[in-house]
Structure 1
Amino acid sequence: MFFFFLNYLRPNAIKGIFASLLLIITSLLSLATPYVLKIIIDDIFPSGNYRDLMNILMLLLGIYIIRILGNLLFEVLFTRINQETINDIRIDLFSSLLREKLGKLKKKRIGELVFLLKDDVETIQDGVSSFGLKIVNNGITIIGILIMLFVLNYKLTFLSLFVLPFIFISTKTFLPEIRKSFKKLQAKDSELHDFYFERIKNIRVIKSFNTYIREKKNATRLQRELIHYYVRISLIKGGSNHLTGFLIAIGPLIVLLYGGKQVFEGLMSLGALVAFLQYLNKLYNPMLNLINSYNELERAKVSMARVYEHFQDNIITPSSFSNPKEFESLFLKNVSISYNNKHVFEEVNLGFQRGNVYGIIGASGSGKTSLIDLICGFLEPCKGTVLMNNVQGIRNISNWNQFYALIEKENQIFSGDVITNIKYGITKTNPQEIKNAIGLSGLFEVINNLEHKEHTVLTNNASILSDGQKQRISFSRAFLKKPPILIIDEATSSLDSKTEELLFENIRRELKESLIIFITHRTASLKYCDKIYEITDRKINLV
């Protein structure tokens, strides 16, 4: 799983190598200051040569300038690598979610999916690109410091590093609890995302039922639970870091105790001791950074597991697909569906021929939506198959979505202007075709009354339009597509009878060779249908 996400760094491999080289150079240059200080204390001050002092300080200034420029360039490269990695993972995840079966997506909250795309992806990036570069940066720094410590006094180095096994044990002890806490935190954060999304979406219900105080209490409860998890993680991480810091702080005490004795005995110069202490202090931050990086990696692993499952379920094998061109009929052969051990359809055999209008009726929960999901390929039957032209299963047709248009009762409007919404999903159009589609759906008067006509920008809920006007935009889209199969799922529920009748006259005339499937609760609307099927007792029967 980790290597799967590691592959996202490949497009930026050259930039990553260059950024790593910059890190190595700046890390090595940072080691110069303590040794230069040793030279000043042990060699320049005793000789009293001010010119030498000026020269070495100028050298030090040059090193500082190079480090600043190197760090600046690294930060630019690092930001670009980070953002491109986030972009690639997020786009692939978004594409994978769009292909995912509706049955699985329905089990996820919308806020959770948004959290996956935003927060989890950024957390993964920290675990993939940031972790690797931090290992390089801190690793090189630690190795360089250890070399300088051994050069200055190898005995003192061994004494000052005796705490390392205790640091490892401390980190290992806290790690399981950190991992578990991160998992709970991300689940609660995801729940909070979904809560706010759902409440804003249903704000009309909240206003109409005057539940402001109740929803404020719900939000407060969720936020407090989230705070609890953040505080818990802070306590665990803080305990781990401070215990590690305490163990590391013992090092300088040992150095001063043993090194000071050597200075008094003339076995070690004062400059060497000062430089040794500075190097030892420089060793602490990289070590703590490595420990924190490991904690970040553990958090990233939780996000990786959450995201990875969506990549795994949507692997496409083009070789198993075909692309038929002509549609004649649709047939459900021995189809059975069940949800959570509840049977929806059992051994259903049903045929639809192009050129006919079929009405589908049934009580709420009888399976009308499941039938539509089957026909669209959103849902796979537990048994049986859905055949095109009584020969080929639709699951093996890669361009199946080009054969149908689905118009639903719910809002099908995207953020953008009216004309963009009408053309959505249709690649080849001309102005005359668009004009015809607008006319066939009865939208001319609606558009002419808008401030900027067809270029009026709509939000995703299109609040400036009525529900019936939104449905007519969906019908315009269908007229423009001219699909062999048109599925109308209660999409005339907000239209008056006169507008509905006009639409069906146009559908009959313009899509006379298409298969029309019409789901409705209006008995009067069934007059437009050639045949009517009723769903009852897990069967579909001709009325």
Structure 2
Amino acid sequence: MRVFLRILSFARPLGGTIPLYLGLIIPATIFSVVNLSVLIPLLQVLFDQAQEVEVGVSTSGWSIQNLKSSFYGYLHEVIQARGKLSALYLICTIAVVSVLLANCFRYFSQLVLASVRVRVMKNLRNEAYSHILYQELGFFTHRRKGDLVARVTTDIQEIEQSAVSTLKAVIKEPFLIIGYLIVLIAISPKLTLYTLLLLPVAGVGVSLVARRIRKWARRSQESMGQIGHLLDETIMGIRTIKAFMAETFQQARFEQQVKAYSDQAFQIAARSNLAAPLSEVIGVSVLVLVLVIGGREVLVVGQLAPAEFIGFLIIFSQLLNPAKAISVAVSQISRGLSAADRVFELMDHRSILFRSEKKELHLENELIFDQVSFDFDGEAVLSEVSFGIKKGETIALVGPSGAGKSTVADLLCGFYQPKMGQVLIDGEPLNLYNHQWLEQIAYVGQEPVVFHDTIAANILFANPSATDEELEHAARGAYLHEFIMSLPNCYQTTVGDRGTRLSGGERQRLTIARAILKNPKVLVLDEATSALDAQSEQLVQEAVSNLMKNRTSLVIAHRLSTIQHADRILVMDKGRIVEQGNHEELLEQKGLYHKLARLQAFS
């Protein structure tokens, strides 16, 4: 119930929704009850018993007995004045009008519920996506991408189909049950009491079925997450799969996951489909018992008229329909609640990336790494790294793969938090700044990230409000403008999924144009020219050099030729800074930098 109420909390703002729904469902219920209630006088007219019904003295008030007395009094007048056929026409007219009005009110009440369902799904999807979007990077290193996608897509779809869709049964049907019970009590309180004692038996069996469904549903949704992850791996690595002729191996992996999901889906279907026949069998059994008890009241005791008893049975049979709908909804909702558990588990994971304190960002003096240590899954990546970057200074990081260079860049951007030590901005910890810190940074990574959109949209990603002139200036700065103009649709050319229509160098230059457009105060280049061919590297390097003028810059590069003019070069190895100085000083030290320079010169 707690999970279901949390799902419903995403229906906010409700405003006038609840009063509007009540104003529609209550008349719908009343007219539905009237439609069935007129069967009793209809039968009495047909069986020539209408005039035998005792008509009490009508008093003021809206009790069932007063309404019954008033109606039968009017019915007697019609029979005496115009005959039984006119009374039959009157009853049939009331039945038709009540059906029409009941369905009109029910239709509009369902529209209100539909608006609530749509609002719940919209808010839930937006909230789940937002939680993923604002997580720190460490969150993604421990999660399967396919599982995250499954939680926001298939799991939320399951919530909509199984949990939210049951709103109709859970909210609408109780009104019908209450309305029918009021009429049944008016007909025979004793018989209604027996009915109420027998009905809960049906709920016990359905609740046992629902409990098992939720357990299997959780396993099924986890298997679907595995399938999504495997499919994502296949699409991302399709070239490698084909190069190693691993289609058969990959197909076997996929079929294994699909089989696990199918087995679990069958277990869920076997149990959920049991709810409807189980409730129907129990309902019919209860109906038979009511028939026996009520028949005795008619034949032996004589306290119930035959027409009233038949009407009681008809109304009671209609009472079983909403009761059955609720029991089926209970079994279905278990699947939705299991999916909701997975979605809320994702949403309950709080990001520690940015704290709530607001501070203005004004880098006036220096960025400092003060004894910073960082590990990943217990394995040390950085060990007591200390250095400073003065405002307007360019610092380069070099070293073998795995030395920790990219981790330094990630910490500077605030993507991670140090395990020990601090990253300071003018003496204050970086984590005291809000998102405006990232607003001052342009980051260009090793792998160019390009979105499935136009070239213009990809560059404007850094500054959506930029003018066409600023957009062209950024493209020219990355030496990309002439290439763009050679395309059929120029800046409106779609680059394909992950930029597949562009070469590696073109994708990297596009990301550099994005950084130029942002016009940042702090520039982080993580081996940003590694994907460029020799012809374009020099042109782009000149553009990047111009971009770095009078800016605080951190540059990571494998090619030492690209960072020879840095103010300082920090040489890293195994998570530590082992050397530092400018290009000439480091060559004279005959250390690791000298070794790397010789290897690159030789190659």
Provide the TM-score with structure 2 as the length reference. Answer: 0.83
Give 2:416's match in structure 1, choosing from 379, 402, 411. 379
Q: How far does the alpha carbon of each residue in 1:65-99 deviate from its partner, in whole angstroms, 9 at most, with x for none? A: 22232233233332222112211222122222111
Matched, 1:23 2:25: yes
User: For the residues of structure 1 that align with 2:185 and 2:173, how far apart are their CA atoms?
Assistant: 18
Structure 1 pair 315/209, CA: closer, same or farther in 2 (3 Å)? closer
> Computing the radius of gyration over CA atoms, which structure comes out larger, 1 or 2?
2
- Match of residue 13 from structure 1: 15
DSSP 3-state at the match of 2:497: coil
Cα RMSD after superposing both structures: 2.6
- In the alignment, residue 234 of structure 1 is paired with which amino acid? A
- The residue number in structure 2 matching 1:397 is 434
| Structure 1 residue 87 corresponds to structure 2 residue 125 | no
**Which of 315, 326, 348 pairs up with 1:279?**
315
**Structure 1 stretch 34-43 or stretch 372-381: which is displaced more?**
34-43
Instruction: Specify which of 216, 223, 228 is matched with residue 193 of structure 1.
Output: 228
Counterpart for residue 471 of structure 2? 434
Taking the aligned partners of 1:330 and 1:127, their CA distance within structure 2 comes to 53
| C-alpha distance in structure 1 between counterparts of 2:287 and 2:277, whole Å | 16
Measured in 2, the distance between the counterparts of 1:339 and 1:192 equals 27
Match status 1:445 vs 2:487: no
Q: Structure 2 vs 1, CA of residues 408 and 398 (structure 1 numbering), >3 Å: closer, same or farther?
A: closer
Choose the corresponding residue for 1:115, options 126, 129, 150.
Answer: 150
* Other-structure match for 1:510: 547
Q: Does 1:539 align with 2:595?
A: no
For 2:235 and 2:325, the matched residues in 1 are separated by 40
Q: Deviations over 1:9-51 (max 9, x none)?
A: 2313312431243223223322223321221111345267222
In structure 2, relative to structure 1, the CA distance for the partners of 1:42 and 1:467 (3 Å cut) is: same
Give the equivalent residue in structure 2 for 1:321. Answer: 358
Distance apart, 1:404 and its partner CA = 1.0
Q: Name stretches of at least 5 consecutive residues in structure 2 with no aligned partner.
A: 51-82, 581-603
2:340 is matched with which residue? 304
Is the partner of 1:416 in helix, strand or coil?
coil
SS in 1 for 2:463: coil
Note the alpha carbon deviations across 1:403-459, whole angstroms, 9 max, x for none. 211112324112221111111131442333222211110102210221100111233
Q: Rate the CA distance shift 1:217–1:67 in 2: closer, same or farther, 3 A.
A: farther
**Cα deviation, residue 337, structure 1:** 1.0
AA matched with 1:268: L
Measure, in 2, the Cα distance between the counterparts of 1:110 and 1:539: 32
Contact 2:131/2:346 (CA < 8 Å) preserved in 1? yes
Distance in 2 of aligned mates of 1:24 and 1:428: 52
Question: How many Å apart are 1:328 and its aligned residue?
Answer: 4.1
Aligned pair count reads 543
Structure 2 residue corresponding to 1:41, chosen from 40, 43, 61:
43
Q: Does 1:203 align with 2:203?
A: no
1:93-112 CA deviation, whole Å, 9 max, x = no partner? 22221111110122222222
Q: 1:170 aligned to 2:172?
A: no
- Higher mean displacement: 468-477 or 480-489: 480-489
Relative contact order (alpha carbons < 8 A, sep ≥ 6): 1 or 2 greater?
Answer: 1
- The whole-number CA distance in structure 2 between the counterparts of 1:10 and 1:94 is 18
Matched position secondary structure for 1:350: strand
What residue number does 1:270 align with? 306
Aligned counterparts of 1:66 and 1:458: Cα–Cα separation in 2: 56
CA distance in 2, matches of 1:326, 1:375: 13
Who is 1:367 aligned against?
404
Q: Report the CA distance shift for 1:58/1:458 in structure 2 as closer, same or farther (over 3 A).
A: farther
1:272-322 CA-to-partner distances (Å, cap 9, x unmatched) read 222222222222222222233333444343333333344441499975121
Alignment partner, residue 227 of structure 1: 262
Closer, same or farther: CA 50–314 of 1 in aligned 2, 3 Å: farther
- Deviations 1:319-360, CA, capped at 9 Å, x for gaps: 512122345432111211112221111222122233333332
Per-residue deviation, residues 220-279 of structure 1 (Å, max 9, x unmatched) = 222221111111112222334433332222111112223233333454333222222222
Q: Mean Cα displacement is larger for which, 7-16 or 449-458?
A: 7-16
Per the alignment, residue 532 of structure 2 pairs with 495
Shift of 1:4: 4.7
- The residue aligned with 2:508 is 471
Displacement of 1:480 in angstroms is 0.9
Assess if the C-alpha contact under 8 Å between 2:151 and 2:342 holds in 1: yes
2:100 matches 1:65: yes
Asked if the contact 1:535/1:541 (under 8 Å) is kept, the reply is yes
Structure-2 change in CA distance of 1:514 and 1:492 (3 Å): same
Could you tell me which of 312, 326, 330 is aligned with 1:294? 330
Q: Residues of 1 paired with 2:429 and 2:297: CA distance?
A: 88
Aligned residue among 132, 156, 175 for 1:97: 132
Give the aligned residue type for 1:178. I
- Which range moves more in the overlay, 275-284 or 392-401? 392-401
Amino acid in structure 1 at the alignment position of 2:511? S
Quick one: structure 1 residues 229 and 395, their matched pair in 2 at CA, closer, same or farther if it must change by over 3 Å? farther
Counterpart CA distance in 2 for 1:526 and 1:317 is: 32
Determine whether 1:342 maps to 2:379. yes
Moved more, 32-41 or 301-310: 301-310
Structure 1 pair 482–7 and aligned structure 2 pair: CA distance change class (3 A)? same
CA pair 236-435 structure 1, distance change in 2 beyond 3 A: same
200-209 vs 332-341, which deviates more? 200-209
Counterpart check, 1:150 vs 2:185:
yes
SS of 1:336's equivalent in the other structure is strand
Moved more, 519-528 or 494-503: 519-528
Distance 1:219 1:406 in 2: 37
Quick check: 59-68 or 426-435, which moved more? 426-435
Aligned residue for 1:54, secondary structure, equals helix
Aligned residue for 1:320, secondary structure, equals coil
Q: Does structure 1 conserve the Cα–Cα contact (< 8 Å) formed by 2:369 and 2:423?
A: yes
Which amino acid counterpart does residue 262 of structure 1 have in structure 2? E
Tell me, what secondary structure is at the counterpart of 1:162?
Answer: helix
Take 1:258 and 1:299, find their aligned partners in 2: how far apart are those partners? 39
| Unmatched runs of 5 consecutive residues or more in structure 1 | none
- Distance in 1 (CA, whole Å) between partners of 2:380 and 2:354 is 31
- Ranges of 4+ aligned residues in structure 1 off by more than 6 Å: 315-318
CA contact (8 A) 1:24 1:136 kept: no
Label 1:348 to 1:322 Cα distance change in 2 as closer, same or farther (>3 A). same
Which letter does structure 1 place at the counterpart of 2:411?
L
Contact 2:395 2:569 in 1 (8 A): yes
Cα distance in 2 for partners of 1:294, 1:522 equals 64
- The verdict on how the C-alpha distance between 1:204 and 1:400 changes in structure 2, with shifts beyond 3 A counting, is same
**Given residue 337 of structure 1, which amino acid in structure 2 is its aligned partner?**
F
Mapped partners of 1:328, 1:440: distance in 2: 28
Offset at residue 522 of structure 1 (A): 2.8
Q: 1:102 to 1:336 in 2, by over 3 A?
A: same
Provide the C-alpha distance between the structure 1 equivalents of 2:103 and 2:200, rounded to a whole number of angstroms.
Answer: 35
Residue 64 of structure 1 aligns to a residue in which SS? helix
Q: Which is worse superposed, 176-185 or 151-160?
A: 151-160
